Amino acid sequence: MTKTRKIRKVLKSKPAIEGAGVHLNRVFGYSQLPMFDPFLLLDDFRSDTPEHYIKGFPWHPHRGIETITYVLRGDVEHGDSMGNKGTISAGDVQWMTAGSGIIHQEMPKGDLNGSMYGFQLWANLPRSHKMMDPRYRDVKNKQIPEIKLESGTRIRIICGNVGDKQGPVQNIIIETEYLDITVPTQQKFIHPTARGHTVFAYVIEGKGHFCKDKEPFSYEIEGLNYFDMQRDSFASNGTIVLFDEGDQVMVSTKEEAVRFLLISGKPIVEPIAWYGPIVMNTKEELRIAFEEYSKGTFIKYHRA
């Protein structure tokens, strides 16, 4: 019997400042470990105020993780210790595997209206791949297939499958699905999910119901005031929905359409030692990483 996933928990994204002074919303991060395993962090850096993002993320190291950057508006200029340079523009995705270590920078540049919209997801790497050679997957907007269902629902497939359509990011380390979905008004959308995988939806426009059960007190909402007695069964912009176990997710709308990122992955279930941009399995591995960074021996791989 097919089981529709219920909502396990709902979280509201919270303002944070990262890099050289970038104002963003932290959707989840260190304090939610290991709830989103194999994912570590999701940042929403949508802004219409250039001074809130223009200083960007100057040179910094990463080891032991993958960073997935998805841009909706504006450009992100990037460079790294392997000599790579480029720009991630509207609709593009960069899937970077830091592996044994990379030093890079990401500098947001707004569009003609000064808008910079995007998201960065951190995915953990298993112990067996923590020290693999770093690599990039730069995916351009036109390479990402978009399908439209009879209901009018539109799906951009970054990673994973919808019917016989497959996303351009393949042969990745962890089993991952990454979809950008828009469900129009007065519609229902059902999508199959793998048993045992962590599944969540992050709402980026509009609002919708993310469970058959529309009772708002049937799940926990993190971020509400203790005395807030108003509970809405809709999930709206800036809200993340973490699902319980099941075979599919169901999303429905009423008078307003909803757009959300639907992301899933197979949990790694390993110890996590995390400090800043480096994520390893033990504190000793962390110590070694930072010692190597200070000594200039952090980079293990150099492009030929």
One of 2.60.120.10, 3.30.413.10, 3.40.50.300, 3.40.50.720 is the CATH number of 7-295, namely: 2.60.120.10
Whose CA is closest to 79, among 39, 41, 136?
136
Whose CA is closest to 97, among 200, 176, 179?
176
**Taking the model in full, what pTM does it have?**
0.94
Residue 17 pLDDT greater than 80, yes or no:
yes
User: Over pLDDT 70: what percentage of the chain?
Assistant: 93
Q: Tell me if 233 sits within 8 A of 209, measured CB to CB.
A: yes
Which three-class secondary structure state does DSSP give residue 286? helix
CA dihedral 220, 224, 229, 234 (to 10 degrees): -60
H-state helical runs in the chain: 283-295
Residue 158 pLDDT greater than 90, yes or no:
yes
Amino acid 226: pLDDT: 52
For the chain, the helix, strand and coil percentages under 3-state DSSP, each to the nearest 5: 10, 50, 45
Between the alpha carbon of residue 49 and those of residues 27, 37, 78, 117, 188, the distances in Å are: 20, 33, 20, 11, 35
Distance CA 170, CA 143 (A): 13
Report pLDDT digits (tens) over 56-97: 999 999 999 999 999 999 999 999 888 888 999 999 999 999
Q: Could you tell me the sign of the dihedral formed by the alpha carbons of 229, 233, 234, 240, in that order? A: positive
Amino acid 281: pLDDT: 98
Average pLDDT, whole number, for the chain?
Answer: 93
| Cβ partners under 8 Å of residue 271, min gap 6 | 281, 282
Amino acid 218: pLDDT: 58
Amino acid 183: pLDDT: 98
Q: Tell me if 130 sits within 8 A of 78, measured CB to CB.
A: no
| Segment 218-224 long-range contacts (CB within 8 Å, at least 24 positions apart) | 218/6, 218/7, 219/6, 219/7, 219/8, 219/9, 219/10, 220/9, 220/10, 221/9, 221/10, 221/11, 221/12, 222/9, 222/10, 222/11, 222/12, 223/11, 223/12, 223/14, 224/12
Amino acid 102: pLDDT: 96
Q: What is the rounded average pLDDT of the residues 141-151?
A: 97
Whose CA is closest to 135, among 107, 100, 91?
100
Residue type (1 letter), 17 = I
What is the number of residues in the chain? 304
Distance CA 111, CA 109 (A): 7
Residue type (1 letter), 254 = K
Report pLDDT digits (tens) over 25-45: 999 999 999 999 999 999 999
Amino acid 242: pLDDT: 97
Q: What is the rounded average pLDDT of the residues 119-142?
A: 96
Per domain, the residue ranges of the chain are 7-295
The CA-based angle 65-66-72, given to 5 degrees, is 145
Residues pairing with 223 in the sheet: none
Q: What is the rounded average pLDDT of the residues 291-303?
A: 89
Q: What is the CA radius of gyration of the chain?
A: 19
Amino acid 211: pLDDT: 86
Residue 169 pLDDT greater than 80, yes or no:
yes
Residues pairing with 176 in the sheet: 265
Report pLDDT digits (tens) over 101-121: 999 999 999 999 999 999 999
Amino acid 229: pLDDT: 46
Q: Tell me if 98 sits within 8 A of 134, measured CB to CB.
A: yes
Report pLDDT digits (tens) over 190-230: 999 999 999 999 999 999 999 877 665 556 677 655 545 45
